[in-house]
C-alpha cells in the first residue's frame, strides 16, 4: 500500500516524462544544483510561536513579541520573520476546501467579511518592517492533532473539516497563504505522513481518516523518499507561481527523516536535521550533533536547521547564562536559523543581550555562508572553525560536559601560519589577545568560548576547499544505503521522555561528504600519508565547487586508507563548466596518492568526480587531499 501511494504521489506531483536513456549522475552538468530559490542568502532570523505558546496562540501574543523585537532593536539586527506555528487553523471549509483560520484568536481577520483572512495581520507585520510565517503539514493532519492531550486549540468540525494539512491541497493552500494572505515563509511538518496509519488509535477512534505512512522517523527503509521529494517539488512550484518577486522561504521540517540530510539542500531554504529541541542540555547535544558534521550540506540559499533557539526556558533560562550563551554561539557557528522561541514580552534583559550580540549574529549572517568545520573532535570538547568572507576565522571552543578543561588552541586548528602572530577577539568581552603557534585557554563546564581570529593563511595564495564549505555542494555523495549515525548524542530529555524504548541511533547522513575528515570520521590518509585538510567522500560521487577568481585547482587524490574495499580502483576527474580538465590514473587502496593540478581561470563551476566500478561505495571512501583553489 505504501509503495502504491508513493507511486501515485510521484505521478501526481512530478512533471510529465518520456522514456529516455538512464542519466549518469556523475556526468558533469556545468551548473550548481543546490537550492537557491526564495530569500535565504543568509540563514533566516526571527521568532516562532511554538516554544513559548505551543498551540495556545493569539494575535496579542504574536504582535506583542513582534513589537518587542522592533522596540529592542533586534529587528534592525536581522530578526525579521514572525512565524506562526501549529494552532492557527480552525478547519478546512467544505465543500470548496478553503482553509479557515481561528478568527476568535485573531480578531483583525474578521475585517474580511464571512471568510476570515490573515491579510490584516500580515499587513501589520509588514508595516513594522517584519515578515510573516505560517505552518502546515505534508499530510492531511498536523502534529498537534496527533499528539496534543486535548483538542482545545485544534481544528474543529467533522473528519474532513479537520484535515488542515497540505495533502491533496498543495496548490490551493499555497495560493491562499501567499497570494491571498500575504505570508512570506512556510514551515512544513511531516507528522501527517507518519502518524495516521490505519491501525493507530486516532484513526480507529473514527476521528481521522487513515493515511498509510510513507515516512518513518527511525527507519529510512520504511520511507518513500521519492514521494516525499515529489511533494516538496510541488510546494516549490506553487511558491514560485504565487510569489513572482521570489520573496518567500520554504522550511522543511521532517526532522532528519527520509534521509533529508542528503537532499534537503536541494529542496528548501531550511532543512531540519533532528527531532524537536527541548530546554535541556542533553537535547541541545542531540540537535547540535545532528548538524555539526554536515558543513558541506549547507550553502547560501539552503541551511541546516537543528531547530529553534530555546533560550529563555529550562537549562537556557536567565539562571543558566553559560548554557544560554553556548546555545546561541553554537547555532551561529552552524549557520542555523536564529529563531527565538521565548515569550519576548517577559524575557529578561540578560537574555535579550544574548539575542542581540551583533558580533555573534554577524558570524551566522556572514555572506560567505561557510558552516563551521570541526577542527578538534572529542566526546568532551569540540573546536569549531569558520572561515569568514573577510578571510578572518571564527573559532568556538565548546565544552560539552561537566568538567573544566585547559584547551590548547593551535594555529593549525585555524589553518593559519604557525610562525605569524594571531589576534583573538573575545566576542562576549571584546577583549583582545595575541599568540603565535598556540595558546592555552581555560573553559568551564558547558561553556563555549567564541573568538574572531585574524592571522596569516597557512596556505599562501589560496584556500582549501574545506575552509569554504559554503561553496562546495555534494551533488552526489555516493551514499546508496543510508546508515544510522553512531556519533549523535542520545538522551532521555527529548519530547518522549522515558516512554517507549529509548532514544535509538538515527539516520543522520553517516557516510556523507565531510570536510577534513573521511565520511566515517577518520582523518584523511592515503598510503600512510596524512592530510590535515581536504574533502572525504565515497566513491561514485560528484562535488560541485563554485569558483570566483581562482586560477588553479590542486589536490592530491587517492583511495583512503580507511577503505575496506581493497580490490576496486577509482579514477578522479576534474571538470570546468562541463569540460574535462584533468584526470588521475585508476587508483586502488594502498597506492600512493597522485597530484592533480588544472587551470580554472574563468571557470565558474568546477566538478570533482570520483568514479569507481559501481561496487559497494560505502566500503570505498576516497580523499581529495589538500584540495584547494589557488589565486595563481
Cite the active site residues: 189, 276
Please, what is the Cα angle at 305 between 301 and 309, to 5 degrees? 125
Who's near 536: CB < 8 A, 6+ residues apart?
A: 513, 514, 516, 517, 518, 519, 522, 524, 560, 621, 622, 623, 624
Who's near 141: CB < 8 A, 6+ residues apart?
A: 162, 163, 164, 165, 191, 192, 196, 208
CA distances from residue 74 to 81, 84, 325, 336, 361 in whole angstroms, order as listed: 11, 18, 17, 17, 10
Contact 169, 188 (CB under 8 A): no
How far is it, in rounded angstroms, from Cα 397 to Cα 375? 10
Cα atoms found within 13 Å of the Cα of residue 223, Cβ hemisphere only: 24
How far is it, in rounded angstroms, from Cα 410 to Cα 425? 15
Residue closest to 98 by CA, chosen among 154, 183, 176 = 176
Strands (DSSP E) contained in 93-230 are 99-101, 131-137, 185-189
How far is it, in rounded angstroms, from Cα 352 to Cα 71? 12
Could you please report the per-residue DSSP string of 500-514?
TT-----EEEETS-E
Which grid cell is 258?
527520509
How far is it, in rounded angstroms, from Cα 279 to Cα 314? 5
Amino acid at each position: 500500500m505504501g509503495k502504491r501511494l508513493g507511486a501515485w504521489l510521484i505521478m501526481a506531483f512530478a512533471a510529465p516524462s518520456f522514456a529516455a536513456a538512464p542519466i549518469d549522475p556523475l556526468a558533469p552538468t556545468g551548473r550548481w544544483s543546490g537550492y537557491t530559490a526564495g530569500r535565504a542568502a543568509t540563514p533566516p532570523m526571527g521568532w516562532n510561536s511554538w516554544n513559548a505558546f505551543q498551540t495556545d496562540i493569539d494575535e496579542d501574543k504574536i504582535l506583542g513579541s513582534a513589537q518587542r523585537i522592533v522596540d529592542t532593536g533586534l529587528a534592525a539586527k536581522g530578526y525579521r520573520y514572525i512565524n506562526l506555528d501549529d494552532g492557527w487553523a480552525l478547519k478546512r471549509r467544505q465543500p470548496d476546501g478553503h482553509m479557515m483560520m481561528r478568527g476568535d484568536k485573531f480578531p483583525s481577520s474578521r475585517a474580511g467579511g464571512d471568510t476570515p483572512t490573515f491579510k490584516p495581520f500580515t499587513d501589520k507585520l509588514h508595516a513594522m518592517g517584519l515578515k510573516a510565517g505560517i505552518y502546515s503539514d505534508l499530510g492531511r493532519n498536523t502534529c498537534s492533532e496527533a499528539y496534543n492531550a486535548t483538542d482545545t486549540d485544534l481544528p474543529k468540525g467533522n473528519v474532513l473539516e479537520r484535515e488542515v494539512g497540505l495533502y491533496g491541497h498543495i496548490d490551493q493552500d499555497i495560493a491562499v497563504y501567499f497570494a491571498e494572505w500575504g505570508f512570506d515563509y512556510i514551515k512544513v511538518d511531516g507528522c501527517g505522513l507518519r502518524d495516521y496509519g490505519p491501525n493507530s488509535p486516532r484513526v480507529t477512534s473514527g476521528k481521522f481518516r487513515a493515511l498509510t505512512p510513507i515516512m518513518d522517523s527511525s527507519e529510512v527503509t520504511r520511507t518513500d523518499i521519492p514521494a516525499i521529494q515529489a511533494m516538496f517539488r510541488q510546494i516549490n512550484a506553487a511558491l514560485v507561481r504565487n510569489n513572482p518577486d521570489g520573496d518567500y522561504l520554504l522550511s522543511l521540517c521532517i526532522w532528519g527523516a527520509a534521509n533529508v540530510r542528503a537532499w534537503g539542500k536541494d529542496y528548501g531554504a531550511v532543512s531540519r536535521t533532528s527531532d524537536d529541541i527541548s530546554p535541556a542540555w542533553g537535547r541541545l547535544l542531540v540537535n547540535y550533533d545532528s548538524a555539526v558534521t554536515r558543513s558541506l550540506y549547507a550553502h547560501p540559499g539552503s541551511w541546516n536547521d537543528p531547530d529553534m533557539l530555546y533560550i529563555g526556558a529550562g537549562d537556557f533560562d536567565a539562571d543558566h547564562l553559560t548554557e544560554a550563551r553556548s546555545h546561541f554561539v553554537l547555532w551561529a557557528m552552524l549557520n542555523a536559523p536564529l529563531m527565538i522561541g521565548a515569550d519576548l514580552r517577559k524575557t529578561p534583559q540578560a537574555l535579550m543581550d544574548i539575542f542581540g550580540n551583533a558580533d555573534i549574529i554577524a558570524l551566522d549572517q556572514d555572506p560567505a555562508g561557510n558552516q563551521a568545520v570541526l577542527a578538534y573532535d572529542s566526546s568532551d570538547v569540540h573546536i569549531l572553525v569558520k572561515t569568514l568572507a573577510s578571510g578572518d576565522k571564527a573559532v568556538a571552543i565548546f565544552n560539552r560536559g561537566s568538567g573544566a578543561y585547559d584547551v590548547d588552541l593551535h594555529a593549525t586548528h585555524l589553518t593559519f601560519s604557525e610562525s605569524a602572530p594571531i589576534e583573538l577577539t573575545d566576542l562576549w568581552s571584546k577583549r583582545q589577545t595575541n599568540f603565535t603557534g598556540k595558546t592555552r585557554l581555560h573553559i568551564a563546564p558547558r561553556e563555549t568560548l567564541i573568538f574572531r581570529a585574524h592571522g596569516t593563511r597557512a596556505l599562501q595564495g589560496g584556500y582549501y576547499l574545506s575552509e569554504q564549505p559554503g561553496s562546495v555542494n555534494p551533488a552526489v555523495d555516493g551514499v546508496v544505503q543510508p546508515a544510522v549515525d553512531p556519533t549523535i548524542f542520545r538522551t532521555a530529555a527529548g519530547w518522549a521522555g522515558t516512554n517507549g524504548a529509548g532514544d535509538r541511533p538515527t539516520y543522520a547522513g553517516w557516510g556523507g561528504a565531510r570536510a577534513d575528515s573521511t565520511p566515517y570520521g577518520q582523518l584523511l590518509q592515503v598510503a600512510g600519508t596524512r592530510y590535515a585538510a581536504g574533502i572525504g567522500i565515497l566513491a561514485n560521487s560528484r562535488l560541485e565547487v563554485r569558483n570566483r577568481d581562482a586560477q588553479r585547482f590542486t589536490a592530491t587524490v587517492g583511495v583512503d586508507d580507511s577503505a575496506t574495499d581493497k580490490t576496486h580502483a577509482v579514477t578522479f576527474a576534474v571538470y570546468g563548466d562541463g569540460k574535462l580538465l584533468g584526470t588521475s590514473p585508476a587508483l586502488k587502496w594502498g597506492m600512493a596518492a597522485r597530484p592533480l593540478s588544472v587551470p580554472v581561470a574563468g571557470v565558474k563551476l568546477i566538478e570533482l568526480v570520483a568514479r569507481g566500478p559501481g561496487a559497494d561505495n560505502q566500503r570505498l571512501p576516497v580523499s581529495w587531499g589538500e584540495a584547494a583553489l589557488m589565486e595563481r
